């Protein structure tokens, strides 16, 4: 099994520009990901990547090729509208890769999504991958391999680092979810943890966070309150960041003494999570935790 996407997912591309087409081609080449169509206003009726039909609207794509998920590469000023268009058309999942979306636009999109069944991943994220089955976004497929470790991260680069370490340690990944580093996102660490908890393939989880916001503390509270059934290993980036200075992502800023790395690490440790101080120790900490808990994640 997997979470969110698998080999049966019918993938749509929103934004068939240079970046969108490049990554759509890479996604399509990965395990023959089923890219059923693209949406690019004004280009309806044409084809891209040889045989992929292009539509002017998501609603038209839904009617003609029945996609179940969309990856969004629409430029920042139009990306929130693209998210809402996907939800209005009835899609169940969208991953918005676009960065730089104005917070006011995302606040409007978040309100629009509140009563819609569509799950949003991102924005400003690398997307989702189920190794050996499907790639939806910009993650480098070659470093992944099928396995039993779920990964959820605010950082794209640290996602790849965790994947590489896990693969080099002889383990693999069930699903990797890049939730994005913006202040307003769709799917949170806690949401991903709930998905992994219900997935029989996932035997343990690596959670990667960073300074700013309270998502990691909320995840820690959930882990503690739910007596989370699977081992969790965590790393928090930005441990030396000065207050008031944004580090990388738009949401990675300490303000008013809130959102510090130390507070997040303390909350996670209090919830029973194995927290590593250095990113280079993620796989080692995972292996130690699995051995201590008697969990076999190599199957």
Distance between CA atoms of residues 166 and 275, nearest Å: 16
Q: What is the pLDDT of residue 205?
A: 98
Pair type for strands 232-237 and 274-275: parallel
Q: Which one, of 223, 173, 219, 229, lies nearest residue 198 by Cα?
A: 229
Q: Is 134 helix (H, G, I), strand (E, B) or coil?
A: strand
Q: How many CB atoms lie within 10 A of CB 169?
A: 17
Q: How confident is the model at residue 80 (pLDDT cuts 50, 70, 90)?
A: very high
Reported as a single tens digit per residue, the pLDDT across 183-238 is 999 999 999 999 999 999 999 999 999 988 889 999 999 999 999 999 999 999 98
Q: What is the pLDDT of residue 239?
A: 83
Distance between CA atoms of residues 162 and 193, nearest Å: 16
Q: What is the DSSP string of 163-219?
A: HHHHHHTT--EEEEEE--SSSS-SS-HHHHHHHHHT-TT--EEEEEEESSSSHHHHH
Reported as a single tens digit per residue, the pLDDT across 13-46 is 999 999 999 999 999 999 989 999 999 999 999 9
Report whether pLDDT(277) > 60.
Answer: yes
Report whether pLDDT(242) > 70.
Answer: no
**Mean pLDDT taken over the chain:** 93
Percent of the chain with pLDDT strictly greater than 70: 93
Report whether pLDDT(243) > 70.
Answer: no
Domains and CATH numbers, the chain: 11-121 (3.40.50.720), 140-293 (3.40.50.261)
Q: Which one, of 242, 234, 245, 299, lies nearest residue 271 by Cα?
A: 234
Q: What is the pLDDT of residue 249?
A: 53
Distance between CA atoms of residues 258 and 105, nearest Å: 25
Q: Which residues pair with 54 in a beta bridge?
A: 38
Reported as a single tens digit per residue, the pLDDT across 104-114 is 999 999 999 99
What are 192-195's contacts with CB under 8 Å, separation 24+?
Answer: 192/3, 192/150, 192/152, 193/152, 193/219, 193/222, 193/223, 193/228, 193/232, 194/222, 195/3, 195/4, 195/150
Reported as a single tens digit per residue, the pLDDT across 144-189 is 999 999 999 999 899 999 999 999 999 999 999 999 989 999 999 9
Q: How confident is the model at residue 1 (pLDDT cuts 50, 70, 90)?
A: low
What lies within 8 Å, CB to CB, of 40 at 6+ separation is 14, 15, 16, 17, 54, 56
65 or 256: which leads in pLDDT: 65
144 flagged as catalytic: no
Report whether pLDDT(255) > 70.
Answer: no
Report whether pLDDT(240) > 80.
Answer: no
Report whether pLDDT(258) > 80.
Answer: no
Distance between CA atoms of residues 218 and 211, nearest Å: 13
Q: What is the pLDDT of residue 257?
A: 54
Active-site residue, selected from the candidate residues 23, 40, 189, 249: 249
Q: Which of 72-81, 108-117, 233-242 has the lowest mean pLDDT?
A: 233-242
Pair type for strands 274-275 and 119-121: unpaired
Report whether pLDDT(260) > 90.
Answer: no
251 near 183, Cβ under 8 Å? yes
259 near 211, Cβ under 8 Å? yes
Chain position carrying tokens 């779920």: 150
């Amino acid at each position: 099994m997997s979470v969110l996407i698998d080999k049966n997912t019918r993938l749509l591309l929103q934004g068939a520009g240079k970046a969108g087409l490049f990554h759509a081609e890479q996604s399509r080449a990965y395990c023959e990901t089923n890219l059923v169509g693209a949406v690019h206003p004004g280009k309806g009726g044409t084809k891209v990547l040889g045989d992929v039909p292009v539509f002017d609207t998501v609603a038209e794509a839904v009617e003609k090729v029945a996609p179940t998920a969309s990856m969004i590469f629409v430029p920042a000023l139009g990306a929130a509208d693209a998210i809402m268009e996907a939800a209005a058309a009835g899609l169940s999942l969208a991953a918005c890769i676009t960065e730089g979306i104005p917070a006011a636009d995302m606040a409007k999109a978040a309100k629009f999504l509140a009563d819609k069944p569509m799950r949003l991943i991102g924005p400003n994220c690398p997307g989702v991958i189920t190794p050996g089955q499907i790639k939806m976004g910009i993650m480098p497929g070659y470093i992944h391999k099928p396995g039993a470790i779920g990964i959820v991260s605010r950082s794209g680069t640290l996602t790849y680092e965790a994947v590489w370490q896990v693969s080099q340690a002889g383990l693999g990944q069930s699903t990797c979810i890049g939730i994005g580093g913006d202040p307003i996102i769709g799917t949170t660490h806690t949401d991903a943890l709930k998905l992994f908890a219900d997935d029989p393939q996932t035997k343990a989880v690596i959670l990667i966070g960073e300074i700013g916001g309270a998502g990691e503390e909320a995840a820690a509270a959930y882990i503690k309150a739910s007596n989370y059934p699977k081992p969790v290993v965590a790393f928090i980036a930005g441990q030396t960041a000065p207050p008031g200075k944004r580090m990388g992502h738009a949401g990675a800023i300490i303000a008013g003494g809130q959102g510090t790395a130390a507070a997040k690490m303390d909350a996670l440790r209090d919830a029973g999570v194995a927290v590593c101080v250095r990113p280079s120790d993620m796989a080692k900490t995972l292996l130690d935790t699995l051995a201590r808990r008697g969990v076999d994640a190599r199957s």
